Amino acid sequence: MTGRSVLQSLRFKVAATVVLILAVAMGLVFAVQYRSYRHQMLQRLDLASTPLSDVIKGSLRHAMQTRHLEQVAAIVDNVSRQSGVIKVLILDKKGQIRFSPDRAEIGTRLPLDDPTCQICHRITPENRSKTVMFAAADGGQVFRNVNPIANEPACFGCHGSRDALLGVLISDFSVAGVERRLAVESRQMLLALLLAAGVTAVAMTLMMNRLVVARVERVVDATRLLGRGRLDLAVTVGSRDEIGELATSFNEMVEALRRAKALRERKELLESVLDNIHDAVVVFDAGGTVLALNHGAEVAFGLDADETVGLAPALLGPGQEGLFGRARRAGPVTAELPLARADGGTFPAQVRVALVDLPRSDSAAGHEVAAAGHEVAAASSLAYVAVVRDLTEEKLKERLDEQLAQTEKLAAVGRLAAGLAHELNNPLGNVLMYAKLFEERLDHDDPGAANARRIVDNILRCRTIVRSLLDYARQSEVRIAPTDLNEVVERSMELVAGQVAQRRIACDVALARDLPRVECDARQMQQVLVNLLQNGIEAIEDGHGRLALLTRPSADGAGVVVAVHDSGRGISPENRPHVFEPFYTTKAEGTGLGLAISHGIVERHGGRMWLESVVDGPEHGTTVYVELPVAT
C-alpha cells in the first residue's frame, strides 16, 4: 500500500466503523437492559415490602392491644436490626414519631414536604403508592414502605372510634443489596456484550475484508499496473456482485484500451510506411474531400498536408470525378496524365485510383485515430485512395535513353559512311573527269551532249552527297567561340529568304532580347538551321504555310533554345523515330542526311535536339528544337 497510511486504508476504516457501530448498539442495549433489570429488582422489592410491613404490623398489633408499649418499642428495635432493614418508625396521625430505634427522634414531627408524607398528602388517592425511594443523609438509597394503621374496634379503648386511621408504620429498607446484585449482574452482562461485540467486530471485519476490501484491492492493484502501461492484465474477483461488475467493467476497459493501442500502433506503422514510400498517396472521402496525404504527396504536389486535409481540391485534375466514377464502377483504374503543382507547374504522372473501405474514425477508439497526423473524421466509410507516381524523371530518362541509342546508331552509321565516302571519293573524281572530257568532245547540237550533261550533273550530286557524308563523319573541325545565336538565326533566314518569298510562305521571327551567348561554331550552327528551315519549307504546300523562328533561354537558364516551326504536313508517329537516321528520307530527291548531320553537329556542341510534330487537325506542323549550352 504505497503512499497511504494505515489510518487511510479501507481495512482500518471498515474495522473502525464496525467497532463504532457495535459499541453504540451494544451500549444502547446495555443501557436499556440495565434500566429494565433495575426496575424489575425494585419492583420485586416493592412487592415484597408491603407483606413484610404487614407482618411487622401484625406482630405489633398484639403488643399495642395489650398496651405493652415497651414491647412495641422492643419489636421496633428488633426489626430495625434485621439485615436489609434500616429502621422501622411508627408515626401518629399528626405526623409525630412515636416509636423509633433512634430515641432522639421520638416526639419529632416529619415535615409535610417529606417524601413520606407526599405519598398520602399530595397525590390523588388512586395514584398513591405505598412506597417511596429517596437518598438518605449518608448518600445511600432508602426504600421506604408506608403502611397506614387502621382504627379497629380493639383500638377504640385507647384511641376512640372517631378516626379511621391511627397513624402509619414506616419501614425503611436498604437498596444497597439490590444495587450490589445489580452491579454484579451488569458486570456479567457487560462482559457478555463486550465478548459478543468483539466476536462480531472480528467476524464482520474479516468478512468485509474477504468480500469487499481484498477484492477491491485486486482491482486497485490492477488499475495501478494499468497506469504504468500494462495492458495484458485481467482481474478476477469471483462472484457476480457489484465488485464483480466493477472487475468486468475494468476488464472491458483494458480490452478497449488494448484494442485502441493496437489500432494506434497499426495506424502509426501505416503512416510511417506511407511517409516512407516515394510515391504520392492521397486519400479522398466519397465527396472528394482530402482525408489524408503522405509526405510523397506533399512533395509531388508542393502542398502542406495540414492546409490541404479537409478541403476538396481537384488534385487529380479536371478528370478526377471521372476517375472516381470508374474506380467505383469497375475497380481500380490507372491513367497517365499531366497534373498541376501548387506553384502552377505541371508534371507527367501515373495515377492509380482504388475505392477502399475505411474503418470509421468515430469507432470505439476514434479519439485515438484523430489524435495524430493529418486526419479529419470521416463521414463515410468509403474512400478513394490515389497513388500518384511522378513520371518526370522517367520520361527524361526515356528520352535520354532514346537519344543515347540514336547517338550510338548515328556514330556507327557515320563511321561506315565516312569509310564509304572516302572510298567513293577517288573513283567519283575519276568518273567526273572522264565524263567532263567526254562532254567536251561532243558538239553542242549533238544529241548525246544533253545526256553527257546529265551524267556530269548526277556525278556532281553524288560528290555533294559524299562531301556531306564526310562533313557528317568529321568530328574534328569545330571552331567553337561565344556566339550570339540571334545573329546566326538572322543569317540563316537570309539564306532561305529567296525560296520563302518565291513560295509565298509567311515568316515570323521572334528573337529573345539579351540572350546569353552560346559556345558554338557559327558556321556549323548556320548549316543546322538552314537544314531545318529547308525541311520546313519542303513540308509546306505552296502558298499555304507559315514558318516561325524563335529564340529563348532554356527553362533552367543554362542554355539557349532555338525553335524552328513550320505549319507543314507533320511527321507521322511511325516515321518520327527514324528522321535522325542518315539516309532516311521520304522525299524523291532527298538525301536523308539533313537531320542526321544537324543532330551530329548539335551533339558535338554538347547540346540536344528534339522535335514535336502534329499530323492531324488545324494545328498540324512540326517544331524542331535545338538547345545549346550558355558560354561561361
Ligand X SMILES: Nc1ncnc2c1ncn2[C@@H]1O[C@H](COP(=O)(O)OP(=O)(O)O)[C@@H](O)[C@H]1O
Q: State yes or no: residue 600 binds Mg ion (CB under 5 A).
A: no
Q: Is the dihedral of CA 588, 590, 592, 598 positive or negative?
A: negative
CB contact at 8 A, 375 and 580: no
CB contact at 8 A, 306 and 374: yes
Choice from 622, 626, 627, 628 touching ligand X (CB under 6 A): 622
* Cβ closest to Mg ion, residue 414 vs residue 594: 594
Residue nearest to ligand X as judged by C-beta position? 594
Binding at 566: pick from Mg ion, ligand X, none (beta carbon under 5-8 Å per type): ligand X
Binding at 526: pick from Mg ion, ligand X, none (beta carbon under 5-8 Å per type): none
Q: Of 33-41, 242-250, 323-331, 579-587, which part binds ligand X (CB under 6 A)?
A: 579-587
Choice from 585, 604, 610, 631 touching ligand X (CB under 6 A): 585
* Cβ closest to ligand X, residue 165 vs residue 509: 509
Cα–Cα dist 515/492, whole Å:
18
* Cβ closest to ligand X, residue 98 vs residue 578: 578
Q: CB 491 → ligand X: shortest distance, Å?
A: 20
Tell which positions 84-123 bind ligand X, by CB under 6 A. none
Cα–Cα dist 213/452, whole Å:
129
Cα–Cα dist 363/406, whole Å:
60
Q: For the sheet containing 333-340, what is the strand order?
A: 290-293, 280-285, 382-390, 346-357, 333-340
CB contact at 8 A, 337 and 351: yes
Q: Spell out the SS3 assignment of 526-568.
A: HHHHHHHHHHHHHHCCCCCCEEEEEEEECCCCCEEEEEEEECC
Q: CB 294 → Mg ion: shortest distance, Å?
A: 50
Q: Of 154-162, 371-379, 450-458, 593-601, which part binds ligand X (CB under 6 A)?
A: 593-601
Q: State yes or no: residue 592 binds ligand X (CB under 6 A).
A: yes
Cα–Cα dist 592/600, whole Å:
13
Q: CB 285 → Mg ion: shortest distance, Å?
A: 57
Please count the other Cβ atoms lying within 10 Å of the Cβ belonging to residue 303: 21
Residue nearest to Mg ion as judged by C-beta position? 594
Task: Report helix, strand or coil for 152.
Answer: coil
Q: Of 47-55, 87-95, 434-442, 584-592, which part binds ligand X (CB under 6 A)?
A: 584-592
**Interaxial angle between packed helices 176-208 and 10-65, expressed in degrees from 0 to 180 and rounded to the nearest 10:** 160
Task: Report helix, strand or coil for 2.
Answer: coil
Residue position matching grid coordinates 486526419: 375
Q: CB 282 → ligand X: shortest distance, Å?
A: 42
Q: CB 596 → ligand X: shortest distance, Å?
A: 6
Q: Of 92-100, 251-259, 367-375, 587-595, which part binds ligand X (CB under 6 A)?
A: 587-595
Q: CB 538 → ligand X: shortest distance, Å?
A: 6
Q: State yes or no: residue 622 binds Mg ion (CB under 5 A).
A: no
Strand partners, 92: 167
H/E run at residue 281: strand 280-285
Strand partners, 280: 388
Choice from 121, 230, 453, 587 touching ligand X (CB under 6 A): 587
Q: CB 571 → ligand X: shortest distance, Å?
A: 5
Backbone angles phi, psi at 70, to 5 degrees: -65, -30
Tell which positions 87-116 bind Mg ion, by CB under 5 A. none
* Cβ closest to ligand X, residue 131 vs residue 535: 535
Q: CB 525 → Mg ion: shortest distance, Å?
A: 16
Query: What would the grid cell of residue 417 be?
Result: 559512311
Choice from 42, 591, 620, 631 touching ligand X (CB under 6 A): 591
Q: State yes or no: residue 308 binds Mg ion (CB under 5 A).
A: no
Q: Of 90-98, 442-450, 466-474, 578-586, which part binds ligand X (CB under 6 A)?
A: 578-586
Cα–Cα dist 300/313, whole Å:
15
Choice from 554, 584, 603, 612 touching ligand X (CB under 6 A): 584
Which residue type sits at 125? Answer: P
H/E run at residue 282: strand 280-285
Residues 488-527 vs ligand X: string with x where CB under 6 A?
Answer: ----------------------------------------
- Count of residues making up the chain: 632
* Cβ closest to ligand X, residue 125 vs residue 573: 573
Choice from 594, 600, 607, 621 touching Mg ion (CB under 5 A): 594
Q: CB 553 → ligand X: shortest distance, Å?
A: 24
Choice from 86, 149, 327, 595 touching ligand X (CB under 6 A): 595
Backbone angles phi, psi at 80, to 5 degrees: -65, -20
Cα–Cα dist 144/136, whole Å:
11
* Cβ closest to ligand X, residue 327 vs residue 465: 465
* ∠ CA 616-621-627, rounded to 5°: 135
Cα–Cα dist 256/555, whole Å:
57
Burial of 626 (0-12, 13-18, 19+ CB in 10 A): buried
Tell which positions 535-554 bind ligand X, by CB under 6 A. 535-536, 539
Choice from 76, 315, 365, 596 touching ligand X (CB under 6 A): 596
Based on DSSP, count helices (H) and strands (E) in the chain, helices before strands.
16, 17
* Cβ closest to ligand X, residue 40 vs residue 572: 572
The torsion angle over the Cα atoms of residues 26, 32, 33 and 39, rounded to 10 degrees, is 160
* Cβ closest to Mg ion, residue 341 vs residue 576: 576
Which residue type sits at 393? Answer: E
Tell which positions 521-540 bind Mg ion, by CB under 5 A. 535
CB contact at 8 A, 207 and 199: no
Q: CB 324 → Mg ion: shortest distance, Å?
A: 49
Size of the site for ligand X (CB under 6 A): 21
Backbone angles phi, psi at 447, to 5 degrees: -60, -25
Distances (CA, A) of 617 to 147, 601, 621: 150, 33, 10
Q: CB 425 → Mg ion: shortest distance, Å?
A: 22
Q: Of 260-268, 485-493, 508-516, 586-594, which part binds ligand X (CB under 6 A)?
A: 586-594
Q: State yes or no: residue 623 binds ligand X (CB under 6 A).
A: no
Interface with ligand X (CB under 6 A): 531, 535-536, 539, 566, 568-569, 571, 579, 584-587, 590-596, 622
**Interface positions with Mg ion (CB under 5 A):** 535, 594
